[in-house]
Chains A and B, each alone.
Chain A
Amino acid sequence: EVQLLESGGGFVQPGGSLRLSCAASGFTFSNYAMSWVRQAPGKGLEWVSGISGSGGSTYYADSVKGRFTISRDNSKHTLYLEMNSLRAEDTAIYYCAKDNCGGTCDSHWFDSWGQGTLATVSA
């Protein structure tokens, strides 16, 4: 059974930093791309960032490009999101999501999700 367990959320002031982690189990972690998806309070889902199975390719939404860094440690089966220069509008539940595919595919979707970790940015 696929399990994704996020951690690292918390309260931070504007301009501060947080590092989120997602511990994965139940599948061959290095074979699959992974993403972070966030949901602001009362709002919809927003894809934030993705990373290939090897970690060699990374992708970012325009809203976080230059401030957030996604990475993974395949030996530890763990996904990370380093968030810097945080703003109030970054306040959200951050979900770790497993991609259906690790390489070249006809499409990409998320077949498993964690329960999320809440990051609150406020003065």
Chain B
Amino acid sequence: SFVLTQPPSVSVAPGKTARITCGGNNIGSETVHWYQQKPGQAPVLVIYFDSDRPSGIPARFSGSKSGTTATLTISRVEAGDEADYYCQVWDSSSDHRVFGGGTKLTVL
């Protein structure tokens, strides 16, 4: 089964670029999706299909994938971007959805 590994925390200064990684042996064969969750709120989809943005998500959010690692990049970070971020894949062999452990983004 899939295991997705994320760093527990990432810190970045306002205006800088934050990069959040999601690693897994099978990531190369599946597409990765990303969610943002602010305290006390439900998750919100920010990236799907590795790099596509839903309508309403700022272009500062982008996704990429190389080898066994997917990356969520947030450019020109703002205080409002402080949140937990989760990666997710679909395991096509079992039809299960799998989440990474989550990364807390702190804006310094």
Contacts and interface: CB of A to CB of B under 8 A. Distances in A.
A complexed with B: yes
Interface in A28-49: 35, 37, 44-47
Chain A interface residue bracket vs B? 20 to 34
A47 B48 contact: no
A44 B101 contact: yes
Interface stretch (B17-25, B64-72, B74-82, B87-95): B87-95
Given A44-B99, A44-B102, A46-B99, A109 B33 contact: yes
Most buried by A among B48, B90, B95, B98: B90
Contacts of A45: 35, 37, 43, 86, 88, 99, 102
Main secondary structure on B side of the interface with A = strand
B99 A109 contact: no
A47 B45 contact: no
A46 B97 CA distance: 9
A47 B44 contact: no
Contacts of B98: 47
A108 B97 contact: yes
B42 A107 contact: no
B43 to A, nearest CB: 6
Given A44-B101, A47-B98, A57-B95, A109 B86 contact: no
A50 B42 contact: no
B31 interface: yes
A95 B33 CA distance: 18
Interface string B1-42: 000000000000000000000000000001101010100011
Most buried by A among B33, B41, B42: B42
A45 B37 CA distance: 10
A71 B44 CA distance: 24
